[in-house]
Structure formats: structure tokens, C-alpha cells
């Protein structure tokens, strides 16, 4: 693994953790990122708040929670793309955000253009 690739993964995980803490009110227990080709996946574990975990136990609560996070994701998508783009030095597009209510994990998936240069350095 190149140092640049490792730095991109670590910095993305750190910066996005700080972002979701500030903007979503989530406090992930751990975060890590994986760069495979032009795809960057950032995994935030134990990312839901205690009240979110309680609400998600009920089917209606889980659906409401998904709706809330969907709105937050859509409202903050461009800011997250900007964060990753600045770190990568290339345009980034956030393709999706997956929330696993059972495990309280959140995964953010980005496509980072021209990131193949990161692999060569």
C-alpha cells in the first residue's frame, strides 16, 4: 500500500467522522476507509446515537430514522464530496449512504475521479 493511499484512507475516515459528528449528531465508535480502484468506502461503526438505537427497534421508528438520515445525507452530500475531493485532490461523488440499524453501522461510498494516481505514488 502506498503512503498516499494510506493517507487518503486515514484522512477520509477521520474527516468524515468529524463531519457526521457535527452535522448528523452521530458519534461513531470507530472509522476506517478502503480505497479500491476509484471507489472509496468509509465505514463508521457503532454510529447511531443511543436514542436512535431505541427508536430503530420498532418498525415504524426504524423507517422514520431512515427517512431522517436520508434527508441529512441529501442535504450534506455536496459537503461530504467536497471533503473527500480536497483530500484526494480529485473530484469525488458520493454514490450512497447505507445505514444498518441492527449493527448501528454507516457506510459512505464515494467515486473519486483520477484516483488511480494515488496507487502509482
Q: Are 96 and 42 within 8 A, CB to CB?
A: no
pLDDT in tens, 58-114: 999 999 988 988 898 899 999 999 999 999 999 999 998 898 888 889 999 999 986
d(CA 25, CA 23): 6
pTM, to two decimals: 0.85
Averaged pLDDT score across all residues of the chain? 88
End-to-end CA distance of the chain: 10
d(CA 118, CA 28): 27
Q: Are 8 and 85 within 8 A, CB to CB?
A: no
- Residues of the chain with pLDDT > 90, as a percent, come to 52
Give the total residue count for the chain: 121
State the pLDDT at residue 119. Answer: 47
Amino acid at each position: 500500500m502506498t503512503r498516499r493511499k494510506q493517507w487518503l484512507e486515514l484522512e477520509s475516515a477521520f474527516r468524515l467522522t468529524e463531519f457526521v459528528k457535527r452535522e448528523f449528531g452521530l458519534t461513531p465508535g470507530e472509522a476506517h476507509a478502503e480505497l479500491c480502484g476509484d471507489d472509496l468506502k468509509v465505514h463508521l461503526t457503532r454510529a447511531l446515537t443511543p436514542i436512535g438505537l431505541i427508536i430503530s427497534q420498532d418498525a415504524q421508528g426504524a423507517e422514520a430514522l431512515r427517512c431522517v438520515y436520508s434527508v441529512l445525507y441529501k442535504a450534506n452530500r455536496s459537503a461530504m464530496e467536497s471533503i473527500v475531493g480536497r483530500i484526494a485532490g480529485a473530484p469525488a461523488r458520493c454514490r450512497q449512504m447505507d445505514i444498518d440499524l441492527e449493527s448501528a453501522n454507516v457506510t459512505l461510498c464515494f467515486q473519486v475521479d483520477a484516483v488511480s494516481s494515488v496507487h502509482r505514488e
